[in-house]
Structure 1
Amino acid sequence: MLAPSIYMYILFIFIIYYLIKEDYWKGSFSKLQIIIKKNSNLFLIALILTIFSISFLDLPISKYFSQQNSISFLKPFIKIINNFGDGSFIFPLFTTLLIVSLIIQQDKYKKILLISLSSSIYAGLFNLFLKIFFNRARPYIDLNPYKLFVYKNINIFRADYWSMPSGHTIVAFAAIIPLVIHFENKLLKSLLITISILEAFARVYLFKHWLSDVIMAAFLGTIIGIIAYQNNITSSTNKELIQ
């Protein structure tokens, strides 16, 4: 008998096939290029913030969390929040919600859930290439925030050197941003944004990432989430969130 995880992987493959077949990712890469060109100042600000964090904030913040048992009563809560950016949590969650939406015949929820799911998968795949490119040591491996591009010394496929950007953070933001844009309830929007920010904090708190890793990931996840929403919802209304 196959392990339950095998069935989940099979379902994952079928959903990716469906997303590709229905053009959920069509034009995403070209759209990203256009946004970068038209919003170069915005990307420059994000780059400056990331470099500033690497230079002045990464080391002291990581040292603080590594040397002190600070706010230890939050650890159980932080570990729960940390799961929100994990693909093994996001995928089953959205798959379950999709099945429920089909059962109760709520196509409006099916559409936005598929957009969020496709956004998170796209972000995860895009982030994988960035991790290999930057090849940055995680803080628990080396408390040197400048240890990037060290291909000759290590195996580039070793997760210990996949610090930049944060995969959990980029996936969480990419999944949540379409929901934030779509739903009008302010309380729900605030809750979703809070969850994504807390997830980013959890990665730093748990000593898995540098602050700059989550800054970059949050920015990229937000952009990918907006693109996913524009391509699949607002394209029909000509409403653009980022020009």
Structure 2
Amino acid sequence: MKILKTLMLCGMLLLHLNADAQTDTTNVPSTDSMKTKEVHTLTAADTTIRYRINGAYLGSIWGDLKYTVSRPAHWTGKDFTRLGIVLGTAGGLMAVDYEVKQFFGRNHTNFWNSVTGQVEPFGNAYSPYLVGGMYLAGVIAKDRKLEHISLMTAKSLLISTLIYTFTKSVVRRGRPTYYDDPFVYNAPFSMDKKHTSFPSGHMLTVTSVATALAEAYGEEHPWVPWVTYSIAIMTGTTRLYQERHWSSDVWLGASLGYFVTKGIYKHHRALERKKALKALADY
């Protein structure tokens, strides 16, 4: 009997709910007590952060710099594995730095002199001009995405360069232009142009820009990372060919530019998620 009563009660409840669902409410007078809360759908304005040159952007540079410098204190197992790979590869390259220098020295030709002369500026002149050109194009065309990407790229390049400059001031490694021994070092903060090999600034610059463009456009246009990183690799090779850096300098310059820029974009995406959660909480 208890089961039967329960079934009858459930049946009456379903009939009641079904009747409520089918009731025509178009002619029911509207009252405050019958108003329903509007469902808010997140828009691009709720979930994206687009920079312009203003106080917010300048503040973000300081915020990203602090984030980047403090990251090692928050590293997990994967991060230490990556560090081990970077340092292990650098150590392996240091062991053959002299042989790499000798290889490129034996293979100088007029053709390769011309090629490297055209590619080398990607590491110092072309990259900053590219970022500046992107910004101007974005402003003139009123393309907010392009304007934002150029500023993100500029910020990544600035922060990685600050870290690189400090590192180069502390580690005063002799350039292969002047020394055959890859283990010649001078005292930290010594002002000597012969000991400015570590790490490669050209490689850091071009890799920072390449990574920023890959992060911004790679998902939508898969060919972008192939192009940008290929240019970065060619630029690094020119530094070896011209005997401006040891191979380990090039590797660590690339690693620094890559991981700093990846970290800045990761932080940016976290800020966008935080903005989206706040927008949801406000409704």
TM-score clears 0.5:
yes
| Aligned-pair identity (%) | 20
* Equivalent of residue 171 in structure 2, options 134, 137, 141: 134
Contact 1:163–1:209, Cα closer than 8 Å, also in 2: yes
Gaps of 5+ in 2: 1-51, 275-283
- TM-score of the aligned structures, taking structure 1 as reference length: 0.81
Change (3 A) 1:163 1:49: same
What is the CA distance between 1:164 and its match in structure 2?
A: 0.6
The corresponding residue for 1:230 is: 266
* Map 1:171-186 → 2, pairs under 5 A: 171-183=205-217, 184-186=220-222
> What is the total number of aligned residue pairs between the two structures?
218
Partner of 1:81: 119
State the match for 2:36 in structure 1: none
1:222, distance to aligned residue in structure 2 (A): 0.5
Change (3 A) 1:104 1:22: farther
CA contact (8 A) 2:211 2:225 kept: no
State the match for 1:207 in structure 2.
243
Matches of 2:269 and 2:141 in 1, distance apart?
22
Query: Alignment partner of 1:26: what SS?
Result: helix
Could you say which structure has the larger radius of gyration?
2
Q: CA deviation at 1:16?
A: 9.2
The residue aligned with 1:241 is none
Per the TM alignment, residue 114 of structure 1 is displaced from its structure 2 partner at its CA by 0.7
Query: Which one is further off, 18-27 or 180-189?
Result: 18-27
RMSD of the alignment, in Å? Answer: 2.4
Q: How does 1:1-243 map to 2 (within 5 A)?
A: 21-35=58-72, 37-38=75-76, 39-55=79-95, 57-66=96-105, 68-86=106-124, 88-148=125-185, 150-151=186-187, 156-183=190-217, 184-237=220-273
Distance in 2, matches of 1:32 and 1:123, equals 10
User: Which segment drifts farther, 57-66 or 102-111?
Assistant: 57-66
Aligned counterparts of 1:216 and 1:59: Cα–Cα separation in 2: 17
Asked if 2 retains the 8 angstrom alpha-carbon contact of 1:32 and 1:227, the reply is no
Contact map agreement 2:68 2:264 (CA 8 A) in 1: no
SS in structure 1 of the partner of residue 63 of structure 2: coil
CA contact (8 A) 1:19 1:25 kept: no
How far the C-alpha of 1:93 sits from its partner, in A, is 2.6
Once residues 71 and 237 of structure 1 are traced to their aligned partners in structure 2, the CA distance between those partners, rounded to angstroms, is: 53
Distance, in Å, in 1 between the alignment partners of 2:169 and 2:273 is 38
Contact preservation (8 Å) 1:82, 1:202: yes
Structure 1: gaps of 5 or more residues: 1-14, 239-243
In the superposition, relative to structure 1, how do residues 73 and 26 fare at CA in structure 2: closer, same or farther (>3 Å)?
A: same
Q: CA deviation at 1:181?
A: 1.5
Letter matched to residue 177 of structure 2: Y
